[in-house]
Structure 1
Amino acid sequence: MEIKRDRYLNQLVSFMWDGQVKVITGIRRCGKSYLLRTLFKKHLLSQGVAEDHILCFELDLAKDIRYRNPLELAQYVRSIVEGNDEQFYLFVDEIQMSDEVANPYNKEGKAITFYDALNDLKSLSNLDIYVTGSNSKMLSSDILTEFRGRSDEIRVHPLSFAEFYSAVGGDKADAFESYAFFGGMPLVLSRPSDAAKMNYLQSLFSEVYLKDIVERKGIKREDVLAAILDLLCSSIGSLTNPNRVAGAINTMQKRAGENLVSINTVKSYMDHLADAFLFSECKRWDVKGKSYFDYPNKYYCEDIGLRNARIGFRQQEMTHIMENIIYNELIIRGCAVDVGIVFSTEKSSTGKPTQVAREIDFIATLGGKKVYIQSAYALGTEEKSLTENKPFSLTGDSFPKIIVRHDIRKRWYDDNGILNVGIIDFLMDDTIL
């Protein structure tokens, strides 16, 4: 089964021969290697590039183990490319498997790493370089940091619903139900049964993601990391911060005195989860005040199937699941995303006027354009409809406004110019923003 990933493939094609190292980043098992070694290679071959001009190294395999030595890799590639008039492509998969080696000219000097090798090879004008990498030794974000200013990032995400549907086909409503339950990790599609899909997703946490973070970051309190993960998965789309998470853990586990989990520990562990691309933080933006609130913020899981697996496929409340899916879709489309806050003056229970904060689920900004978006499972009553529309009326501007709903199929505009669109329609239409 070939899964179309045209969004990322087109990015790779657009970056060809720009003199930069192309760094493919993203959560483990989201399809980085498949994008590079299958889809992009197929594109190059279709353009007439000779296969022996695509130099592929898979550093996690024994066949390429000698090239974990960065000096061996650089020397071998130079022996093929240097002085040749033809163009070559270098693919290095799982580059973090590369070893550090002593400088042969200065044993006491700084060790030689793959950064040195790639920066050396980058000087070859007839070589275009592409790398992927992420595991317990070095997460992808570190690779990008090391090449800052000298690299292009192609951030790969789990499958969008459109990509998922292009592979499974059939009734779109049935496909969406499956997507909302199992998510978009590519290998889920190849699992033969629902039980196998569930087991695969659960094993990703225990055998891949948590082990990566624990080993790489030297985590001492694995129980605290697991508790944070459970809390974030259980409360996607809810306002929280390290202080609240620490308080919740201490209360649930009845900790006191010296056994209290500190806010600094929680903040550090939450940063590790974000660094591993498992969660994204969405900040709150004061629409009229034009400034961010310090806290609390919202957290969304990179893949809804992973979130469901972590909590044992319980808590299948579609309101929160829809919100997470919409957030991920906006990120996949390249939007900067915030939670919008607007204020209205209303009478309190004592009759005095008071400022009430109302929330717009998402402010999506793309290419200088801004769109306000509400996620609503259903607007079955006039009261519910008024609640969802009220924040829009308080923005004081004319930016486009959209309500994404689960209870309609055909899109339509209301009397205030607000677009009501079904969730499947929204996810399948790239141009809607």
Structure 2
Amino acid sequence: MIQRDFYLKRIIHTMWNGEVKVITGIRRCGKSVLLFNLFYEFLLSQGVHEDHIIKIELDQRRYYKFRNPITLCEYVETLILKQKDEKFYLFIDEVQLTTRVADKGNEGIEVSIYDMLNELRAYKNLDVYVTGSNSKGLSKDIATEFRGRATQIYVFPLSFEEFYSYIGGDEHKALDTYMLYGGMPRLLALKDDRDKKNYLTSLYSELYVKDIVERNGIEREDILNDILDFLASQISSLTNPTNIANTLSSMKREKVNSTLVSNYIQYMIDSFLISMAKRYDVKGKNYFKYPNKYYYTDIGLRNARLNYRQYDPGHIMENIIYNELLRCGYSVDVGVVTDRRGGANVQKEIDFVVNDADKKIYIQSAFQMNTEKKESSELASLMLTKDFFKKIIVRMDISHNFYDDNGIYHCNLIDLLLGRAELF
């Protein structure tokens, strides 16, 4: 079992902080294993007794009754109030499966899981942890729902570093596999390529798409699937709902409303299937409304969506870098700088403007820079910033890292993903 120390350390750091720990992320990325196996084993290793760890898995039939938040709350209270001097831990899996119910003992006021967890959080001898797969069941504004008393821990599929720690061997061969199949943990138990492809395809059609349709009452599943196909084929490219709507209108020979497209994209983001990177004016220090970039949370799911027909390593590499930066907790935007040399007024792109509190770096993703034209193109936008923040080009065609004459750091992708290159 992969230890996932990156996330485990974050959970341990939040123990007994007085807040509800909310572990979110795309379904099947390993949230339950993280909480119910890895963190559970850690607690046992620290001398916590098994009967002081209350585990409720709401997707299991024997726990269905606890989908009623009042029933759940009352059950937990019966356990922890008997031994007020003892510390207890509460684990709830798939908390989005709970329902809103009327509190008959309180004039029929409607009660949600948020109300009950806020109530349980107040007990001094209870530390609360929950997992959830989407922001339809877990509000997009978790801090508000928990009245400012929640710590959110977002879990990604396996990073390349986690993936490689398990399979080992040649780093380049491992990266080729990762760029094709991604990091969904279940894949590590599958040895046959056909089984891996079938698993990812099944996840997409039988889990993610159905989830989005059912939770949002989507009537045009065909349009949803068309948008998913479009975004999968356009990762790392600028687009917007109007452009997508126009493309679909032409393809389907019917008018597709851009507002509908925008809503469907938001549902995909809410399900953690894709994420959106906004464009940021480096000099003007403001955001553009459109167009934006969209990236898949797992590159293997993206490739499966396209039935492995569109394997473009440059765009895949950019998607992986974006996910890695987010996983590390950085704020990531797409940078825009304007080239006004010679009377021109041309916008040029920096793949990523990365912020860590008051620190900032610029990153370009370049699969290879094998011509002077390609090298000039990649360097130009970085040089136009005319500031002193660190500038990095991540490449696949160099064997060692170096600084060029302009002070730009050229970094090998594998070194970046395995933590062998310092960003800040």
Q: Same fold (TM over 0.5)?
A: yes
Matched residues in 2 for 1:145 and 1:311: separation?
38
Whether the aligned pair in 1 keeps the contact of 2:139 and 2:145 (CA below 8 Å) is no
For residue 261 of structure 2, what is the aligned residue in structure 1? 266
Q: Name 2:49's counterpart in structure 1.
A: 50
Cα pair 2:135 2:271 within 8 Å, conserved: no
Q: Secondary structure, in 3 states, of the residue corresponding to 1:359?
A: strand
Give the 3-state SS of the residue equivalent to 1:77 in structure 2. helix
Q: Pick the aligned partner of 2:389 from 381, 385, 399.
A: 399
Q: Secondary structure at the match of 1:325?
A: helix
Is 1:370 matched up with 2:360? yes
Which whole-Å CA distance do the structure 2 matches of 1:224 and 1:383 have between them?
Answer: 39
Superposition map of 1:318-333 within 5 A: 318-333=313-328
Partner in structure 1 of residue 78 of structure 2:
79
User: SS in structure 2 opposite 1:197?
Assistant: helix
Matched, 1:128 2:127: yes
> What SS class does the counterpart of residue 411 from structure 2 fall into?
strand
Residue range with higher mean Cα deviation, 49-58 or 80-89: 80-89
Counterparts of 1:222 and 1:292, CA distance in 2? 32
Match runs of 1:352-363 below 5 Å: 353-363=343-353
Aligned to 1:170: 169
Deviation at 1:135, TM superposition (A): 6.3
Pair 1:231 & 2:221 matched: no
Counterpart residue type for residue 258 of structure 2: I
Alpha-carbon deviation of 1:290?
1.1
Q: State the SS of the aligned residue for 1:360.
A: strand
Q: CA 1:136–1:388 in structure 2 vs 1: closer, same or farther (change >3 Å)?
A: closer
Write the deviation string for residues 237-292 of structure 1: whole angstroms up to 9, x where unpaired. Answer: 1110000000010111222xxxx111110111111111111111111111111111
Matched pairs, number: 422
Task: Please name the residue that 1:247 is paired with.
Answer: 246
C-alpha displacement of 1:102: 3.0
Structure 2 CA distance for aligned equivalents of residues 169 and 144 of structure 1: 39
The answer (yes or no) to whether the contact 1:231–1:245 under 8 Å persists in 2 is yes
Q: Which residue does 1:60 correspond to in 2?
A: 59
Q: Please say if residues 134 and 270 of structure 2, whose CA atoms lie closer than 8 Å, have aligned partners that are also in contact.
A: no
- Is the Cα contact below 8 Å between 1:228 and 1:245 reproduced in 2? yes
1:384 aligns with 2:371: no
Contact 1:409–1:421 (CA<8 Å) still a contact in 2? no
Cα distance, 1:130–1:26 mapped onto 2, change above 3 Å: same
**8 Å CA contact retained: 1:136, 1:212:** no
Give the distance between the partners of 1:298 and 1:289, measured in 2 at CA. Answer: 20
Inter-CA distance 136–196: structure 2 relative to 1 (3 Å threshold): farther
Report the equivalent of 1:350.
none
- The separation in 2 between residues aligned to 1:305 and 1:10, in whole angstroms, is 26
Which has the larger displacement, 412-421 or 338-347?
A: 338-347
Distance 1:136 1:281 in 2: 15
TM-score by length of 2: 0.96
- 1:35: Cα distance to partner? 0.6
Residues of 2 paired with 1:378 and 1:191: CA distance? 32
1:250 counterpart SS class: helix
Could you tell me how far apart the structure 2 residues matched to 1:230 and 1:279 are? 12
Aligned to 2:270: 275
- Per the alignment, do residues 137 and 412 of structure 1 end up closer, same or farther by CA in structure 2, a change over 3 Å counting? closer
CA–CA distance in 2 between the matches of 1:136 and 1:336? Answer: 20
* Paired residues of 1:362 and 1:372 also in contact (CA < 8 A): yes
The superposition leaves residues 285-322 of structure 1 with CA deviations (integer Å, 9 ceiling, x where unpaired) of 11111111121111111110000000111111111000
Matched to 2:248, the amino acid is I
Paired residue secondary structure (2:109): coil
Aligned to 1:101: 101
Q: Could you tell me whether the CA contact under 8 Å between 2:22 and 2:130 is conserved in 1?
A: yes
Please say if residues 7 and 155 of structure 2, whose CA atoms lie closer than 8 Å, have aligned partners that are also in contact: yes
Identity %, equivalent residues = 53
Q: 1:166, 1:328 → 2: CA distance?
A: 18
| Shift of residue 119, structure 1, vs aligned partner | 1.8
Q: Residue 341 of structure 1 aligns to a residue in which SS? A: strand
Taking structure 1 as reference, are residues 377 and 399 closer, same or farther at Cα in structure 2, changes over 3 Å only?
same
TM-score by length of 1: 0.94
Residue 290 of structure 1 corresponds to 285
Q: Distance in 1 between matches of 2:26 and 2:9?
A: 20
Distance of 1:148 and 1:103 partners within structure 2 = 20
Distance in 2 (CA, whole Å) between partners of 1:151 and 1:293 is 31
What letter matches 1:105 in structure 2? G
Q: 1:145 to 1:248 in 2, by over 3 A?
A: farther
Q: Quote the residue 2:9 is aligned against.
A: 10
Q: Which amino acid aligns with 2:290?
A: Y
Conserved 8 A contact 2:136-2:270 = no
Q: Deviations over 1:97-141 (max 9, x none)?
A: 22433322256x223332232122112101000001236972574
Distance 1:30 1:377 in 2: 27
Aligned to 1:337: 332
Q: In the alignment, is residue 315 of structure 1 matched against residue 305 of structure 2?
A: no
Partner residue, 2:406: 416
